[in-house]
Amino acid sequence: MKHSVSAAFPQDFLWGASTSAFQCEGAAAEDGRGPISRDLHKPIPGTADFSVASDFYHRYKEDIALMAEMGLKTFRFSISWSRILPEGTGAVNPKGLEFYSNVIDECLKQGIEPLVTMFHFDLPAALEQRGGWGSPESVQWFVDYASILYKNYGSRVKYWLTINEQNVLIFLAERFHTLVIPKDCKNVLREIYQQNHRMLVAQAKAMALCHEMCPGAKIGPAPNISFVYPASSKPEDTIAAENYNAMRNWLYLDVAVRGRYNEIVWAWLKEKDALPVFEPGDAEALAAGKPDFIGFNYYNTLTCEEDDGSRPLTQATDQQTARGESGMFRGCANPHLKVSPFGWEIDRVGLRVTIRDIYGRYGLPMIITENGVGAAEELTADGKVHDDYRIEYLKAHIEQMGLAIADGGEMMGYCPWSAIDLISTHQGFKKRYGFVYINRDEFDLKDLGRYPKDSFYWYKKVIASNGRDLSE
């Protein structure tokens, strides 16, 4: 459908931006914070560790003031599980509770609605040592943690997200140090999807508990959605794309929204002798955990062709590169798309496709919880960063979001990645996403000064006009 103009964004549209605790906070060993799983593993060679990051922990007032200057209506941030519960369970850290209480209060003081992610890639190290999501106790660990958050912050936080990019944690388990696979494990696939199942049950119980403890709040999942195209009109490629979409995307939203597993994925797991075991009450918990909205991270689409199982497959190197699964699909490049400096395909129209498909499947309001382009950047002598490529990228995606609204999609917000520069999960500090430049490099902390980029002032104009003025 070709619209002459995009639909107007709702008057209460939540224009925002995102961060995560371990990528921006720093203060890794301060005020009682326990180590996270990543702290037990060496950083990727040539990249910074997370001990200081962007120093948001000490500079949150300055950073939130900049967000207010930009005009943000919401700020998506995550709470570090180990800052609240240093051992993952047991004694609560009062300094951790106080910090996030202060962050929430500062947001509200500045007229910014907090959007809180409960778990964003930072499993407490103490829980990793107890088996992580491989432990049958992990569901209750997460529910107990969620209850502490609701009790302390539920009266001030209206919007909650459960688990960031659970699908990425499953696809790239070894990169994110979140799943613990026993050394003597004989069926790794079954173990991975058993742990995935526990996360899904934990999420469902956390959503139900949110509605019980915080009746005015809204909660939803936050998977990374990369819609998959078939490489050609060949019917077998369409089947492959349906397989890939089911495994990467719909499994997680089908369970979160519908309370049941995707049929294609279930059949594949059965064939691989990898079906998860349901504990008593799991099915009921999945059915009872109802989201109020869908959050999703969008960076690009993927493309695939059929795979007959006869050729070796290249596995994904990060969350946005194509992968393959023997007999199911073979990821491939899309010749119609440009590629970012860090190797991710850029598909603005794909965002419209994704919104249409999600809304058609689930009929729930949506908020984009991440969207952005990473780039190596340097500060000019007069303290500027001219990131016209970021403006171009965001403008194109906002335009497509407007068209998706005109198509009938119900959008409630947009939170680009990221509010400030922070450490990328794979490329360290050199891959910058923020509206605000943090004056440090990979290993030299410099003065950690804050410098708004050109995109900061552009996005300020977009927000002030409620998306009507996208001019550069």
Over residues 284-313, the pLDDT tens digits come to 999 999 999 999 999 999 999 999 887 877
Mean pLDDT score of the chain: 94
Place of tokens 């891959």: 431
- Three-state DSSP at 36 gives strand
Q: Cβ distance 388 to 355 under 8 Å?
A: no
Q: Which secondary-structure segment (H or E) carries 361?
A: helix 348-362
What confidence tens digit (pLDDT) does each residue in 226-277 have?
Answer: 999 999 999 999 999 999 999 999 999 999 999 999 999 999 999 999 999 9
Please enumerate, as own/partner, the contacts of 233-239 that have beta carbons within 8 Å and a separation of 24 or more.
234/305, 234/306, 236/305, 236/306, 237/304, 237/305, 237/306, 239/306
Confidence label for 315 from pLDDT (cuts 50, 70 and 90):
confident
Determine whether domain 14-464 maps to CATH 1.10.3720.10: no
- Three-state DSSP at 389 gives helix
Percent of the chain exceeding pLDDT 90 equals: 85
Q: What is the pLDDT of residue 128?
A: 93
Residue 317 in this model has a pLDDT that exceeds 90: no
Q: Cβ distance 320 to 344 under 8 Å?
A: yes
Domain ranges of the chain: 14-464
What confidence tens digit (pLDDT) does each residue in 75-105 have?
Answer: 999 999 999 999 999 999 999 999 999 999 9
Confidence label for 321 from pLDDT (cuts 50, 70 and 90):
confident
Q: Is 32 left (phi over 0), alpha (psi -120 to 50) or beta?
A: left
Confidence label for 7 from pLDDT (cuts 50, 70 and 90):
low
Least confident of 34-43, 96-105, 329-338, 433-442: 34-43
Q: What is the pLDDT of residue 40?
A: 79
The token pair at 70 is 């930009």
- Please give the Cα distance from 8 to 466 (Å, whole number): 8
In 3D space, the residue among 429, 413, 419 whose CA is nearest the CA of residue 456 turns out to be 419
Q: Cβ distance 73 to 414 under 8 Å?
A: no
Q: What is the pLDDT of residue 244?
A: 96
Q: What is the pLDDT of residue 15?
A: 98
Q: 138-153 and 94-109 are packed helices; what angle lies between their axes, rounded to 10 degrees?
A: 50
- Give the count of beta carbons closer than 10 Å to the beta carbon of residue 335: 7
Q: Cβ distance 17 to 105 under 8 Å?
A: no
Confidence label for 41 from pLDDT (cuts 50, 70 and 90):
confident
Confidence label for 176 from pLDDT (cuts 50, 70 and 90):
low
HSE value, Cβ hemisphere, 13 Å, CA-based, for 471: 2
DSSP 96-152: HHHHHHHHHHHHHHTT-EEEEEEESS--BHHHHTTTGGGSTTHHHHHHHHHHHHHHH
Q: What is the pLDDT of residue 46?
A: 83
From residue 140, give the alpha-carbon distance in Å to each of 123, 201, 204, 315, 394.
14, 10, 12, 33, 39
**Is 284 among the catalytic positions?**
no
Q: What is the pLDDT of residue 302?
A: 96
Mean pLDDT value across residues 409-414: 98
Q: What is the pLDDT of residue 175?
A: 66
Place of tokens 């995102």: 18
The token pair at 283 is 């099915």
Q: What is the pLDDT of residue 394?
A: 98
Residue 365 in this model has a pLDDT that exceeds 70: yes
Q: What is the pLDDT of residue 120?
A: 94
Q: State the distance between the two ends of the chain, measured CA to CA, in whole angstroms.
A: 26
From residue 165, give the alpha-carbon distance in Å to each of 238, 294, 307, 373.
25, 12, 26, 17
Phi, psi of 48 (to 5 degrees): -70, 155
| Active-site entry in 106, 128, 165, 345 | 165
- Please give the Cα distance from 169 to 119 (Å, whole number): 11
| Cis peptide bond upstream of 418, omega within 30 | yes
| Active-site entry in 305, 306, 325, 370 | 370
Q: What is the pLDDT of residue 312?
A: 77
